[in-house]
Structure 1
Amino acid sequence: MPVAPSCSPSLVTGPRLKEHSLQVYLGAAKGYMRNGLAASTLRSYDFAWRSYAMFCSSLSVPLFPLCVNVVCAFVCHCTDVRHFQTCYIKGLVAGIQFNARCLDPSFPSLLSNPAIKLLFKGIGKAFPPKVDDRLPFTLSVLHAMLSVLRRGYFSRYIDSLLDCSLLLAFYGFLRCGEFTTRANAFNPTSDVCFSDLTFHPEFFNLFLRHSKSGGSCFVVIARTGGPFCPFSSMLRYVKMRASSDPLSPLFITPANKPMSQSWFSHHLAQVVSKCNLPPGRYSGHSFRIGAATSAAVQGLSTATLQQLGRWSSSAYSSSVRPDAASIIKAQRSLRP
């Protein structure tokens, strides 16, 4: 069974190439291309490649050369047999395209192929995408949740842990997976460590070791002042942490385990319910949506929004969810 392309780690880390040949340089290119992706993206792309290879094998179709007609058949299989959403299938095709380019950098774009574009357009008409009904954590909702915690909801430690996590997620435009772990297992090379947090007089830095926006990056959180200041909240939590090990998880549960995504989501849902809000309409991504919506309402420029959310394109616009009041105000501003 073909596996995702890889190369010798020595070619990725930069020692001198021992042989000067085209194949050696192409081998290095494969490694650098894979190294350029976030770990989660790479896992998804490798899964897509394995799925496509298994599909070809089930039909006794050769994997190479990679043919557009076989990819079209794979897309229809994912739609009609596996019942995958169109956006997920596009991600699988992107994974196939990436791995094909690791083998041959000149491989053309599958997602730009006219036949595949028309295929996805037809699937989109046959199976309209579900409306994303997730609600944003706006500032007012965020403050309501923080008020619940500060009145004492779980324990003093858990309330402080969640308090700073909620504020960090909102002001940092973070995805839930960027500051939590996938499970109780902690990997200091990819998960947020205590040493990744640095305080300065007017802000603190958090180094994200992996980000969907593209590799590692620094997130700056300002000292905003007031009762809901993310800087003060993080400082309070740090003083309550039991461990001072720089390589320990930044966020630790009372069981002395790293804060997993499931642990965070479970406690978040309880806080949302306490605020008399429907927990099924909110998720970890609601912080990013809420931050983008709140920033847009404040009139921040497109360039600033993209910078704050680490968006490399206009994809940020899908995270802006203006409420009815904002729409009415905007419409009234158009009257003569």
Structure 2
Amino acid sequence: MTQGFSSGSACISPCHIALFVAHLHHKQCSLKTISTYLSAGAYVHKLLHNFDPTESFLVKKLVAGCYRLSPSVDMRLPITVEVLNTILKALQHVAQNAFETALFQAMFLFAFSTFARVGEIAATESTVNLVQFQHFTFSRLQTPPTVHVDFYNFKHNLQKKRHAITFSHGPAVFSAVTALNTYLTYRGKGEGPVFLLLNQKPVPRACFDRMLKSCLAFAGLDSSVYKGHSFRIGAASYWSQRGTSDSQLRSCGRWSSNAFRKSAAP
């Protein structure tokens, strides 16, 4: 029996895993690639009810060293309130008609107000994560008026537990609630995904990205550093700078860890 593979068990020793990590780092593989390889190895060992060598102290410390030597840098900038106001004003010049103006104004403000992932408001390959109109509650009698949204389908929420977010006007010049109500005069109040085109189909992710890029270009901003996720980063940064606790931010953004700290530092 060797220190690597054990006969009939497919078990690999932590020493061999550590050497493999060192090899990948020497080849200048990305941290994501290293993590993917380790996840695959861990899965096989767990499937066979074997000890997971990737959880060993040696491997964990080696991976941590790789991160320190090659820290990943998120080039996406947060959409601040100032930038949000700028692209909302640009939208009035970029959009082709009143419907497009209302639609994307509502989408931009909703994304910022609810820490939304783009996949929750615009369709990709699947529409399963899109927020639904039937999960909205409007409180117009309150001052200021508020909107209550229940999220069920989002990353890490395997049990589909309800997660509530409430928002009102918001910090932007334009009211998030007013923008949503204006858009709904076009959409109507039937069940289904909230953000729809005039043909009643969900707004494609490519369409959302294209409009955001056009607004940024009109405003003279670099579209290579502002992406759809920048609304989410911007919301986390805005509330972090106002003293919101990590636990509150994690809840609002529906994060399962404190990874948001990388982009929401005060």
Change (3 A) 1:214 1:196: same
> Which shows bigger deviation, 270-279 or 94-103?
94-103
> Of the two structures, which has the highest relative contact order with CA contacts closer than 8 Å and spacing of 6 or more?
2
Q: Secondary structure at the match of 1:281?
A: coil
CA positional deviation for 1:219? 3.8
Q: Is the 8 A contact 1:136 1:289 kept in 2?
A: yes
Match for residue 114 of structure 1?
Answer: 57
Match for residue 248 of structure 2?
Answer: 304
Match for residue 150 of structure 2?
Answer: 207
Cα RMSD after superposing both structures: 3.3
CA positional deviation for 1:176? 1.6
Q: Is the 8 A contact 1:251 1:258 kept in 2?
A: yes
Greater fraction of residues in helix: 1
Match for residue 130 of structure 2?
Answer: 191
In 2, the alpha carbon distance for the partners of 1:84 and 1:182 equals: 28
Q: Superposition pairs for residues 284-303 of structure 1, below 5 Å? A: 284-303=228-247
CA positional deviation for 1:304? 2.8
> Which shows bigger deviation, 66-75 or 207-216?
66-75
In 1, the alpha carbon distance for the partners of 2:33 and 2:137 equals: 37
Q: Is the 8 A contact 1:221 1:231 kept in 2?
A: no
Match for residue 178 of structure 2?
Answer: 232
Change (3 A) 1:74 1:292: same
User: Amino acid of the residue matched to residue 232 of structure 1?
Assistant: T
In 2, the alpha carbon distance for the partners of 1:61 and 1:155 equals: 67
User: Amino acid of the residue matched to residue 107 of structure 2?
Assistant: S
Give the TM-score taking structure 2 as reference length. 0.78
- Of residues 195, 217, 236, the one that matches 1:251 is 195
Q: Secondary structure at the match of 2:207?
A: helix
In 2, the alpha carbon distance for the partners of 1:62 and 1:85 equals: 32
CA positional deviation for 1:279? 0.2
Match for residue 114 of structure 2?
Answer: 172
In 1, the alpha carbon distance for the partners of 2:97 and 2:169 equals: 26
1:144 aligns with 2:89: no
Query: Gapped runs of 5+ residues in structure 2?
Result: none
Q: Is the 8 A contact 1:221 1:230 kept in 2?
A: no
1:93 aligns with 2:38: yes
In 1, the alpha carbon distance for the partners of 2:108 and 2:240 equals: 20
In 2, the alpha carbon distance for the partners of 1:299 and 1:96 equals: 41
In 2, the alpha carbon distance for the partners of 1:276 and 1:219 equals: 36
CA positional deviation for 1:253? 2.5
User: Amino acid of the residue matched to residue 147 of structure 1?
Assistant: K
Change (3 A) 1:169 1:103: farther
1:268 aligns with 2:212: yes
User: Amino acid of the residue matched to residue 165 of structure 2?
Assistant: V
CA positional deviation for 1:286? 0.9
Q: Deviations over 1:187-229 (max 9, x none)?
A: 4xx4333323332334223333322253444342322278522
Q: Is the 8 A contact 1:205 1:218 kept in 2?
A: no
User: Amino acid of the residue matched to residue 103 of structure 2?
Assistant: L
In 2, the alpha carbon distance for the partners of 1:117 and 1:284 equals: 33
Give the TM-score taking structure 1 as reference length. 0.63
Change (3 A) 1:125 1:304: closer
Query: Gapped runs of 5+ residues in structure 1?
Result: 1-59, 323-336
In 2, the alpha carbon distance for the partners of 1:194 and 1:125 equals: 44
User: Amino acid of the residue matched to residue 205 of structure 2?
Assistant: Q
